[in-house]
Amino acid sequence: MDYLKIFSPATVANVSCGFDSLGFAVDAVGDEMTFTKTAEKGVRILQITGAELTYNVDENAASAVVKKMLNEANANFGVALTIHKGFSPGSGLGSSAASAAGAAFGANQLLGAMYSKLELTKFAMFGEQVACGTAIADNVAAAIYGGFVLVRSYQPLDIIKLPVPKKLRVVAIHPQIQIKTKDARAVLPTKIPLKNAVIQWANLGGLVSGLYTENYQLISNSLVDVVAEPARKRLIPFFDAVQNAARKAGALGAGISGSGPTIFALCKGDKIAEVVHKSIEESYSNKGIDFEMFISKVNQIGIKIIKST
Amino acid sequence: MDYLKIFSPATVANVSCGFDSLGFAVDAVGDEMTFTKTAEKGVRILQITGAELTYNVDENAASAVVKKMLNEANANFGVALTIHKGFSPGSGLGSSAASAAGAAFGANQLLGAMYSKLELTKFAMFGEQVACGTAIADNVAAAIYGGFVLVRSYQPLDIIKLPVPKKLRVVAIHPQIQIKTKDARAVLPTKIPLKNAVIQWANLGGLVSGLYTENYQLISNSLVDVVAEPARKRLIPFFDAVQNAARKAGALGAGISGSGPTIFALCKGDKIAEVVHKSIEESYSNKGIDFEMFISKVNQIGIKIIKST
């Protein structure tokens, strides 16, 4: 393969009770990237559209990942990259993760698919390190594996792919405000009451069980976050109003996507998703804050190849 | 039904990563109880064997549960009870839970099976309250539902039955020392580091996934407790030696059963269970502490009727 164009999905990390360990990918929103083999070694970024990001090869999450992979594989070729961002950095939908995971996937194709998904996740985590300062895995793993993923362990890295109930839909609203991941981390307590931890992991166990059994009621009951949401929601204007609007309109639950400001809602089926979309939209209108929204299926397959030669 | 004799199983609560939310029942060890309808209203305890427990109807976990159920159901009969304890109170294997759950199950049969398993769990929790001072659900739910259970929520009470991989075996050692539940609670921190909480719930998610997929390696990897075990193991002499002996002999994992002192190990298959049994036995011999051991399947059906008329 000498050229490929891919779609790398946006991802929702944390998913209420799964703080720092659960994530899923969406179908409707993501980046498009192209990778072209070049005789000249090294990595070049030809074009970035859709967002303003650095062209510095060592500071851009995508190119840094490709460079590292070509080096480690001792490749006798280079790669020219284009990146089209389909959604904004700083949205809480895994923007740097989509770039980093997409880069790992694309470079791997040009290298003859020599790396496993777990290895690609590790390379993509390096991209997260470059972009955000921490090598978190939940977004990149969700983009690479598709569906729901559980980051069971970092040392050693262990990614568990969980099943996706067929009727599960995502509605998301991205208020056009900026929350730095650093600030969203800073509001979190370093210690939490044991009794809240028990509530959180009992719900995570319930959510995992609900995904395996396609028990939407159990999924709904389990979409509770007593750890990160209480601390972080004050960074997101009108969070409670959106969450209430979503629940009242029939959503299974709603919470903060990643570190925000995007708020996601999970729904059973297209019809309810549309009602929830409308209800959230109304709840945020006339609040003086611009916003974008989307409805999506949960992405089942992760990054996909659109075109290759 | 005028008379029945039941077996109410011992149970392992917490199960490493599932502190205060996970439990399972065993096949090999438990109490036997009989329930006889009497024309005279009220509850009497005819005989208690196998352990010294109070005959005071309001202070004994079993009779207190039966009394409450007869009252709430406005029964026009009474019940005479016998209790044969098949294992010691204070072992960490849910002794009061076996009595309380057995009582709820037995009384329900005499009442024409009018209550659901969830309702029986609530009655049995009252027995735990009487016996231990706290209405915990993990042991009683495991005894009533059988298999693995997750206490997802207390308010409202929500019990999730999880599947049991067919080859799963339990090896347990009960060092003959006493640990009061109160003392085992006292050594626990009231707050825990968020990063440890994340490790714990990621492993619980992994364990639940492993149970659904019969992935023994994942179960093994997930049997980690960074919350209760580090604090409690110092109450159990030679805990580390037992855990190491179990793991080295091929156990999937080992941890504290309930609040101890019993240590459980989970194994894949009978052969490994026997090797693990022997290895743990050797590790505890000549330590100057008496102990009892057993090997068991995981109980799949909960409390069972041995005889009825």
> What is the distance between the terminal CA atoms of chain B, rounded to a whole angstrom?
6
Tell whether B15 lies on the interface with A, counting CB pairs under 8 A.
Answer: no
Q: Which residue of A has its CA nearest to B213?
A: A212
Q: Do A198 and B21 touch (CB under 8 A)?
A: yes
Chain A partners within 8 Å of B205 (Cβ): 18, 21-22, 150, 152, 160, 201, 204-205, 207-208
**Tokens 């085992």 map to which residue?**
B184
| Marked catalytic residue, from A128, A281, A282, A309 | A128
Q: Are A219 and A211 in contact (CB under 8 A)?
A: yes
- Spell out the residues 6+ positions from residue B269 whose beta carbon is closer than 8 angstroms to its own: B167, B169
Distances (CA, A) of A249 to A242, A253, A254: 10, 10, 11
Residue B12 in contact with residue B143, Cβ under 8 Å? no
Substitution target from B208, B215, B220, B227 for chain A, most A beta carbons within 10 A: B208
Residues 6+ apart with CB under 8 A from A298: A24, A25, A26, A27, A147, A148, A164, A168, A169, A170
Amino acid letter, residue B44: R
Bridge partner residues of A277 (DSSP): none
SS3 B162: strand
For A54, A59, A64, the CA distances from A40, given in Å and listed in that order, are 22, 21, 17
- pLDDT score for B255: 98
- Asked if A209 reaches chain B (Cβ–Cβ under 8 Å), the answer is yes
* pLDDT of A184 strictly over 90: no
B204 interaction partners in chain A (CB closer than 8 Å) = 201, 204-205
Q: So what's the pLDDT on residue B247? A: 98
Residues 6+ apart with CB under 8 A from B104: B65, B69, B115, B120, B121, B123, B124, B127, B140, B144
pLDDT of res. B181: 73
Q: In chain A, where does DSSP find H-type helix? A: 61-72, 95-110, 117-132, 138-145, 181-186, 194-213, 216-222, 229-232, 239-248, 270-284
Least confident window among A134-138, A149-153, B120-124: A134-138
Q: Is the alpha carbon torsion for A184, A185, A189, A191 positive or negative?
A: positive
Residue from the list A17, A21, A205 with its beta carbon closest to the beta carbon of B208:
A205
- List all residues 6 or more positions away from B125 whose beta carbon is below 8 Å from its beta carbon: B100, B135, B136, B137, B140, B157
Structure tokens at B293: 């051991």
Domains defined for chain B, CATH in brackets: 3-162+299-308 (3.30.230.10), 168-297 (3.30.70.890)
pLDDT tens digits, A238-258: 999 999 999 999 999 999 999
Catalytic residue among B11, B181, B229, B262: B181
- Enter the tokens of residue B89: 């109170």
Distance CA(A207)–CA(A210), nearest Å, equals 5
Instruction: Give, to the nearest 10 degrees, the angle between helix B239-248 and helix B270-284.
Output: 150
pLDDT above 80 (res A181):
no
Neighbours of B282 (CB within 10 A): 12
Q: From the first residue on, what is the mean pLDDT of each consecutive set of 10 residues in chain B (309 residues)?
A: 97 98 97 98 97 96 98 98 94 96 98 98 97 93 98 98 98 92 89 98 98 98 98 96 98 97 98 98 95 97 96
Confirm if A246 and A272 have CB atoms less than 8 A apart. Answer: no
- Six token digits for residue A9: 């999905």
How many CB atoms sit inside 10 A of residue B176's CB? 12
- Smallest CA–CA distance, residue A236 to chain B, in Å, is 22
DSSP B71-87: HHTT-SSEEEEEEE-SS
In the stretch 236-255 of chain B, residues with CB closer than 8 A to chain A read: none
Q: Look at strands B42-49 and B78-84 and give their pairing.
A: parallel
Q: Which residue in the list A36, A121, A181, A262 is annotated as catalytic?
A: A181
Q: A197 and B192 in contact by Cβ < 8 A?
A: yes
How confident is the model over A264-281, as pLDDT tens digits? Answer: 999 999 999 999 999 999
Per-residue pLDDT, averaged over A13-23, amounts to 97
Q: Is-catalytic flag, A181?
A: yes
Question: CA-CA distance, B284 to B259, in Å (whole number)?
Answer: 19
Q: Do A152 and B188 touch (CB under 8 A)?
A: no
CB pairs under 8 A between A and B: 124
B157 touches A: beta carbon within 8 Å: no
DSSP secondary structure code for residue A235 in this structure: G
Cα–Cα distance between A292 and A294 in angstroms, integer? 7
Q: How far is CA A105 from CA A34, A262, B188, in A?
A: 11, 26, 45
The rounded distance, in Å, linking the Cα atoms of A113 and B272 is 39
Which residues, 6+ apart, have CB-to-CB distance to B49 below 8 Å? B82, B83, B84, B85
ipTM: 0.96
Residue B43: its pLDDT value, please?
Answer: 98
**Contact of A102 with A131, CB cutoff 8 Å:** no
Rounded Cα distance between A21 and A35, Å, is 30
The strand pairing partners of B31, in sequence order, are B8
Calculate mean pLDDT across residues A73-80. 98
B181 is catalytic: yes
Judged by CB atoms closer than 8 Å, whether chains meet at B20 and A212 is answered as no
